[in-house]
Amino acid sequence: MRVLVTGGAGFIGSHLVRALLDRGDAVVVLDNFSTGKQENIAPILADIHLYEGDMRDYALVQRAMEGVELVFHEAALPSVPRSVADPITSTSVNVVGAVTVLKAAVDAGVRRLVYAASSSAYGNAQEKLKVETLCPKPRSPYAVTKLAGEYMLQAFSACYPIETVGLRYFNVFGERQDPSSQYSGVIAKFSKAMLQGERPTIYGDGTTSRDFTYVANVVEANLLAGGAPAEVNGHIMNAACGDNISLLQLVSQLNEILGTTLEPLFGPERAGDVQHSCADIAKAKALLGYQPRVDFASGLRRTVDWYAANLAGGSA
């Protein structure tokens, strides 16, 4: 099968691309390398078809779609803080980009598009478990852009001959997540700092919790969503582990892995941040047969081992 991965040079996208190659698919990657990295796909460059450019360029996206049966739309301008600082660019990339990819997919006769949605759509909903039936309460421009993409998915599946599935990611972490960017995930940042003997900085009192999800679990959810029966069309579902870890617990576990005793520094809470996030994954289990295979502790150890081996400048 010929498959397109937008954002295929990014952290999650590059893991997905490798999984698709491993199962024998012909993989097309579209990336403008604004956040994706050449080194993420360098070892597999000869095995993919690469289109470099902006996903808002309809003509380019149309060329990348030729002969494609399945699309994984991973490309986006990530980060809540980035969207707070520059909501115009985040909205343009994430909303216009999603519509452009969807329209090109319809015009190319693509069977199904799987969309990387975000748990940020739930905002500070007070329910302990975030279930898909909750009313969205986005707290940042980024969250709104990702939620808009979900609604566009459902509109396209209702109006055009294309199947769509949305997966709400919960704080994905793992190998190749860039720890150097100010917009990096907290595990990437903390791992880098603590490997270098530095105290990590927590914004808030440290009780903020997240359903940290190892990247292999998200890749598995995507593969299942791509191949599930037609009944999944139009559905949005959580892709996570169904557990939550506080930032203080995260620092403690990193200290245990590294054999250190580094105490965190504390800073003010950041605008747009959500206090607690934990997924109900019953829907993904029922519709996709999804079951997270790698628990948090195992994924964290794998991730720290990778950073320890690669922070000096290598990549894999």
Residue 300 pLDDT level (bands cut at 50, 70, 90): very high
Of residues 182, 202, 187, the one with CA closest to residue 81: 182
Residue 228 pLDDT level (bands cut at 50, 70, 90): very high
SS3 content of the chain, % helix, strand, coil (to 5): 45, 20, 40
* 2-172+212-242+277-293: CATH superfamily: NAD(P)-binding Rossmann-like Domain (3.40.50.720)
pLDDT at position 312: 60
pLDDT at position 314: 40
Q: Which residues pair with 172 in a beta bridge?
A: 213
pLDDT at position 315: 42
Residue 180 pLDDT level (bands cut at 50, 70, 90): confident
pLDDT above 70 as % of the chain: 98
Each domain of the chain, given as residue ranges in start order, spans: 2-172+212-242+277-293
The answer to which of 161-165, 292-296, 312-316 has the lowest mean pLDDT is 312-316
* 102 burial level (CB within 10 Å; 0-12, 13-18, 19+): buried
- Residues with a known catalytic role: 142
Residue 298 pLDDT level (bands cut at 50, 70, 90): very high
Tens-digit pLDDT profile for residues 187-227 = 999 999 999 999 999 999 999 999 999 999 999 999 999 99
